[in-house]
Amino acid sequence: MEYAALVQLYEQLEHTSKRLEKTNILAEFIQHLPEKEYEEVCLLIEGRVFPVWDERVIGIASKLVLKAIALATGADTEVIEQQWKKMGNLGDVTEHIKKKKQQATLTFAVLTTRKVFDNLQKIAAIQGTGTVDKKLSLIVDLLTSATPKEANYVVRTVLEDLRIGLGEGTMRDAIIWAFFGKELGIQYSAHDNTFKLPDDNREQYNQYALAVQRAYDLTNDFSLVARAARKGFTAITTLTLIPGKPFNVMLYPKAESITEAFDAVGTPAAFEYKYDGFRLQIHKIGTQVLLFTRRLENVSAQFPDIVCAIKEHVNLDTCILDAEAVGYDSITKKYVPFQKISQRIKRKYDITKMSRDYPMELVVFDILYSKEKDITQEPFRQRRTILEKAMTQQKQIIRLSEQLITDSATKAEKFYQQSLAAGEEGMMVKNITAAYQPGRHVGGGVKIKPILDALDVVIVGAEWGEGKRSKWLASFIIAVRTDDGTFQEIGRVGTGFKEKTEEGTSFEQLTELLKPRILTEKEREVLVQPTIVIEVHYEEVQESPSYSSGYALRFPRFIRLREDKGPHDISTLEDVKRIYEKQRGRTE
């Protein structure tokens, strides 16, 4: 397929903020997309060339792209930098410069999606002598062939900053509209941006939406979902977990009380400790063990102790487990908070020493794949029985989660207090007959925590400090996620950080993390790629016109870096609204 056709789609999506219109545009595109091009084009639509769980990244800095633009266009680097500061987007700068040069160019080569896809994948694979020059050559090759508009989006894709406002929900709905729209009687009116569906088909639409979402949560691959949808609804329901490929783990909404929890999951219910560690999904395939975080990062190399524990204590040849890795003090053997062990997630060196200094216990609470079979549809109680038979326990190495099954609120409350006394975060409450539902807050269980919700937010901008902090970013603009996958600002945080890295997460450490992600810089303000997630506490949520969310956190304070979470895991605008309304209920 010609890359120009994809660029036309990018432009259409970028030029509307209306989710329904985006859905319609994308549905029409997917509907006519040749099946053989699903994999590369679906990824390029998302602004990537590797699946979200793939360890490979394009990994090109803005400065190298700037050099590539200069080589491809003949423009002076200083001129490009000036335009960059003025326009704020290197893609737009490239288009502007190429337009000015267009009069002197007779023809452009026809650029294809395959060419773009292949070149960008090759960039990630290049290693050894001459790496920078080889990567530069591949980018220049694309920019030289590209039209001005194509060059714009090539640069954005290289920098992994597509900016077309396309979220996971829109992709999901577009697949439904594309392949089941006629069957369901879906009608979209561009005139007033409305979506109409016959009343008799609403239940069926919801059924299809749940199936498509589940298929994506199981595979994290829209090309697989689209290919299945093209064959019909039944094909979607046959997609299953694939050992070795991470899925979106099941997450739980918050309940305010045990009574509310019983109402949500039924009685009797399974109560389990909510551990203060980080989530791991574990894939065992013969002698190979793969560990993935909630943000689908492969951290197998960072945790050889956990890999060893799985090999020694899990007696299944192939399985997928859901677990929590909990740290403990190597001397006192007491459990320690998450932030004490979080540094192990990103560690690439001295791993053996880190394993000794920050030992971990794996707490396993579910099994989702066993004996060559996806068992997510089995009732939770049955999965727990399978899990108990599949592993042997050893204290501070690997064990099952503490569990109580009861219909008694009194017993549940006692168990909850035991959890808190043990230093855990709270309690999970699970429906014992429910299937495992991959995805975010989709039901089947709830969590109970004793404190006002902390929020997981993503950093979208920052400001350079003053005085002794002038060399660091010291005030961070934070945002929450909306339903369509975009981010809305909710305040700034500058307290809770340490002056010295050895004391905890410091301004210097966060600055080093954010520097490679800076997109634009104007005077002391920078905008950054929304990838770094932090947890914040606050006094209350207030309405505010100063931030795009319409809300602001009063006295936000940094608590910890959440390296185990990605931007798709953060708190939502709906979470903020719920907290705000709950506050109002308390004060009225």
Instruction: Give the C-alpha separation, 326 to 289, whole Å.
Output: 19
194 phi, psi to nearest 5 deg: -120, 150
C-alpha–C-alpha distance, residues 51 and 223, integer Å? 10
Q: Which of 135, 245, 274, 284 is catalytic?
A: 274
Instruction: List residues bridging with 522 in a β-sheet.
Output: 525
Give the C-alpha separation, 110 to 97, whole Å. 19
3-state secondary structure of 403: strand
Q: In residues, how long is the chain?
A: 588
Helix count and strand count (H, E) for the chain? 21, 21
CB 561, CB 534: distance < 8 Å = yes
Q: Which residues contact 257 (CB under 8 A, 6 or more apart)?
A: 448
Nearest to 174 by CA among 213, 207, 219: 213
The one-letter code for the residue type at 179 is F
d(CA 428, CA 449): 9
274 is catalytic: yes
- Tokens coding 104: 């002197």
Q: Let me know: does 28 contact 61? Beta carbons within 8 Å.
A: no
Q: List 313's β-bridge partners, or say none.
A: none
Determine the Cα–Cα distance for residues 258 and 446; give it in Å rounded to an integer.
10
Instruction: List the catalytic residues.
Output: 274
